[in-house]
Amino acid sequence: MLIFAKKYNMKNIPIYLFIITLMLSCHPSAQKENQRNNSTDSISGKLIVFHAGSLAVPFKELADSFKTLHPNIEILAEASGSVECARKITEIKKPCDILLSADYKVIDNLLIPGFTNWNIPFATNEMVIAYNPNARKVNEMNSTSWTKLLLSKEVAYGRSDPDADPCGYRTLLCLQLAEKHYGLKGFYEKMKAKDNQNIRPKEVDLLALLETGNIDYIFIYRSVALQHHLKFINLPQEINLGNKDFAEIYALAQLEVKGKKPGEKIKQTGEAMVYSFTIPYNAPNRKAAEAFAAFLMDSQKGLKIMEKNGQPPLTKPIVKNYDKLPEVLKKLTQKPN
């Protein structure tokens, strides 16, 4: 050390100050900071993500984990109903690097082929009915009594907007399927007409109303109920849109929602839920978007986080337009047969 001091002509600096400085420079935190400053990681800049409201909790964990790997990235996230996410791109022309939708059909119907040319499924979900522990008639609520209970004038239920949010039109599809499953003529129209003052743009907007007791019950995704520690009842598989083995039954339910243009309608047919994502053609930070997409589809990284948060992940899913995928995503997906 004395040789080092002599070499750099440090004879005028008290030796103890020199020793302290040297020790601090060798401290792990200082080394980590130096590594960050000297990082050669090319994933940097702003990453703009539009995501479904139901992904708010897992997305925060995804973003934090991704930033740990790429400290030079700044993630700008916007949560809204998936349809609204798509309309920010198609109508408002807002820049977006990656869009995570609660329904793959949103991307298929609103973004392909004009704004992107591929769509990767990555997780599933199912519908449940969540309730406030102090809800009216809560002691009577179960997986068979709910149809009668929710029609009661004494209770209030909430749902999200079917023209803005997949959870909204999935709720209506569930109600149609319940009418068929239980043989309740007129049930769907009665439920559709009831408590319309409790409709919100996206399903997570209903959580505050439920917590305060302004409404008693809400239709929501099972993952959101688990993430927010809500009490809920499971719906029969013939109704909950969570099991692809019931595809023929789910397809019996249909409705129309707003399309790409004013006055245009898109038909929604019942099917098992599939979440998906895409990267628009004009993504400002495509390199970071592709890196985040690869992180999301990694079974030991992003998909593990999804599973931890109550959403069964899809490992190596089959992707239409596979040949148009970025190379980094091809090894994480499959071609159609």
> Where are the domains positioned within the chain?
2-28, 45-124+274-330, 127-269
Mean pLDDT of the chain: 90
pLDDT of residue 1: 44
| Placement of tokens 């109704």 in the chain | 239
Whole-angstrom distance, CA of residue 330 vs CA of residue 293: 11
pLDDT of residue 278: 98
Is domain 45-124+274-330 classified as CATH 3.50.50.60?
no
Whole-angstrom distance, CA of residue 195 vs CA of residue 174: 17
Whole-angstrom distance, CA of residue 56 vs CA of residue 203: 11
| pLDDT > 80? residue 241 | yes
Contact 198, 157 (CB under 8 A): yes
pLDDT of residue 275: 98
Residue-wise pLDDT tens digits, 293-331: 999 999 999 999 999 999 999 999 999 999 999 999 999
Instruction: State whether residue 126 is helix, strand or coil.
Output: coil
pTM, two decimals, is 0.85
Find the mean pLDDT for residues 70-93. Answer: 96
| pLDDT > 60? residue 74 | yes
Find the mean pLDDT for residues 232-236. Answer: 97
pLDDT of residue 14: 54
Whole-angstrom distance, CA of residue 43 vs CA of residue 14: 43
End-to-end CA distance of the chain: 68
Whole-angstrom distance, CA of residue 17 vs CA of residue 70: 35
| Fold of the domain spanning 127-269 | D-Maltodextrin-Binding Protein; domain 2 (3.40.190)
Confidence of residue 337 (pLDDT cuts 50, 70, 90): confident
pLDDT of residue 263: 84
Residue-wise pLDDT tens digits, 36-55: 444 567 999 999 999 999 99
Q: Identify the bridge partners of residue 160 per DSSP, sorted by sequence position.
A: 200
CB atoms within 10 A of CB 13: 12
Same fold, 45-124+274-330 and 127-269: yes
